[in-house]
Amino acid sequence: MDNLDPFSQLQPRTLPDILTVGQLNQLVKRSLEQNFDKVVVTGEIANFSRPTSGHIYFTLKDASGELRCVLFRMRQLSDYMHLLKDGIAVELTGQITLYAQRGQYQMIVSSLRLAGEGLLKQQFLALKKRLEADGLFDPTIKKTLPVYPKVIGVISSPSAAGLGDFLTILQKRYPICEVRLFVSPVQGEYASDQLIRALQLAEADTAIDVIVFCRGGGSLEDMWCFNNEALAQAIHRCAKPLMSAIGHERDVTICDLCADVRAATPTNAAMLIAPDSHEITQYLDQNMSRLFVSMRHLHQTKLLAFNHVHARICHPRIRIQQGLVDLSRNTRQLLGAMLRTHQHAQARCRVVIDKCTPSILNNHFQRAHKQFDGTYRRLIDVMRHIMVQHRHQVHHLCGQISAFNPYHVLRRGYGMTKYQQHVISSVRQVAQGAQIEIILSDGVLSAVVRDIHTDSGQQ
């Protein structure tokens, strides 16, 4: 300001000779408010406090001075107020005044900005890392925008920068599309809750094909409402395709990362979300031309096929007459063939009859009888020879069996001993006192073993 002396405009004669403390404070208060109605001051917060009234009291200081400040609850519109604490650098806009009751010089803050975006960026990166770990940015869950949307739901403020550009470009490119605006603030402390509410309303509208968050550019503080975790979760749960058209290309928010598609600007969003009607018209014209060519070619092909088939088609009466002619010709040919076959069979039958005279049959019978007699005699001779061979084999086998008959051995003075119905061949098979049977050639002897002598030479 040109004149920083608060009493420069006061005429000395207007001042009483003696002022009370309250009068002096009021004069100073009025002078400060008139000359420092709107000032911007930067510094660092100290002595930060927020009593139950909700107002914020702190001291703004730098290396050369301090300034008492108050930020009333109704002015706390930014949603990053919870970040304020001692040591935070801020930029204040407000009015310099005097608290008359205590004579304290102070600043009534109307708006507050963080001086530098370091703290907000740290919080943004921390939230981004957490949501990314939860899978909210996973590209595999991103939904595809409809190619030809009929109704577009836009979440924005009617006065938001960029909304007009979005609607203008959309009207030029795709005028048949309907736009439904869901009003919500896009800046401020409570904007996130309103954005979530608007998103719920847009999602509940069954006619809407795609939803767009639309807002122009701004500082990180201005767009901080789009870095809200609850809003990110709402976007993640949204069943409809969602596009984020917030700020400029360099402005990245959590909303941009959660959305299915992110547009660099609202203008770019209008170009991405809807096709160009002129390009559609051109595409349809090209397809129509190709369709006409295909139809003409198909018509010519079918016409040639029809003419070919038509040439082969004749009146049923002609077909019947031709059939009768063919039937008559085939009947004559069949009768001729049957007659020739009958005549040929009769000729062969006469030849066979001529050959079958009694003398010829008698000769055949005599030859067959002789062949039968010869065969019968040969068969008898073979059977006799086989019987002789078998008889010799039987005698030979009987001699072998007789040689091995134990009873023939018994006739030569040998005996066979049994113990308990089993033939024994060793003295070790019986014990002293055992009752045994001795079988001879003409009978059986019963005996009791009194002594057992072992032949030591046959161990």
Instruction: Examine residue 310 and state whether it is found in any structural domain, yes or no.
Output: no
Mean pLDDT estimate for the chain? 85
What pLDDT band is residue 230 in, cutting at 50, 70 and 90? very high
| In a shared domain, residues 96 and 159 | no
Query: pTM of whole model > 0.85?
Result: no
Tell me, what's the pLDDT at 405?
74
pLDDT for residue 408 is more than 80: no
CATH code assigned at 50 = 2.40.50.140
Tell me, what's the pLDDT at 317?
77
| In a shared domain, residues 193 and 251 | yes
Tell me, what's the pLDDT at 221?
75
Tell me, what's the pLDDT at 71?
93
Instruction: Examine residue 1 and state whether it is found in any structural domain, yes or no.
Output: no
| In a shared domain, residues 149 and 112 | no
Residue 292 amino acid letter: F
Tell me, what's the pLDDT at 108?
92
Residues 413-426: what's their mean pLDDT?
85
Domain termination residue (choose one: 275, 296, 315): 275
Instruction: Examine residue 81 and state whether it is found in any structural domain, yes or no.
Output: yes
CATH code assigned at 253 = 3.40.50.280
pLDDT for residue 407 is more than 80: no
| In a shared domain, residues 242 and 159 | yes
pLDDT for residue 5 is more than 60: no
Instruction: Examine residue 441 and state whether it is found in any structural domain, yes or no.
Output: yes
6-21 pLDDT, tens per residue?
Answer: 444 444 446 667 888 8
Tell me, what's the pLDDT at 11?
46
Tell me, what's the pLDDT at 1?
41
69-99 pLDDT, tens per residue?
Answer: 999 988 887 666 777 888 788 888 999 988 8
| In a shared domain, residues 220 and 165 | yes
Tell me, what's the pLDDT at 234?
95
Tell me, what's the pLDDT at 9?
47
Instruction: Examine residue 396 and state whether it is found in any structural domain, yes or no.
Output: no
Instruction: Examine residue 41 and state whether it is found in any structural domain, yes or no.
Output: yes
Residues 118-143: what's their mean pLDDT?
87
Residues 207-233: what's their mean pLDDT?
89
Residues spanned by the domain of 416: 409-458
Domain termination residue (choose one: 275, 292, 322): 275
| In a shared domain, residues 24 and 62 | yes
| In a shared domain, residues 172 and 54 | no
Cα–Cα distance for residue pair 278/108, rounded to 1 Å: 56
pLDDT for residue 401 is more than 70: yes
| In a shared domain, residues 158 and 267 | yes
Instruction: Examine residue 322 and state whether it is found in any structural domain, yes or no.
Output: no
What pLDDT band is residue 117 in, cutting at 50, 70 and 90? low
| In a shared domain, residues 152 and 241 | yes
Tell me, what's the pLDDT at 116?
61
| In a shared domain, residues 266 and 206 | yes
**Total structural domains in the chain?**
3
19-64 pLDDT, tens per residue?
Answer: 888 888 788 888 887 888 889 998 888 899 999 988 999 999 887 7
| In a shared domain, residues 189 and 257 | yes
What pLDDT band is residue 4 in, cutting at 50, 70 and 90? very low
Asked whether 19 and 76 are in contact (CB, 8 A), the reply is no
| In a shared domain, residues 80 and 182 | no
Instruction: Examine residue 136 and state whether it is found in any structural domain, yes or no.
Output: no
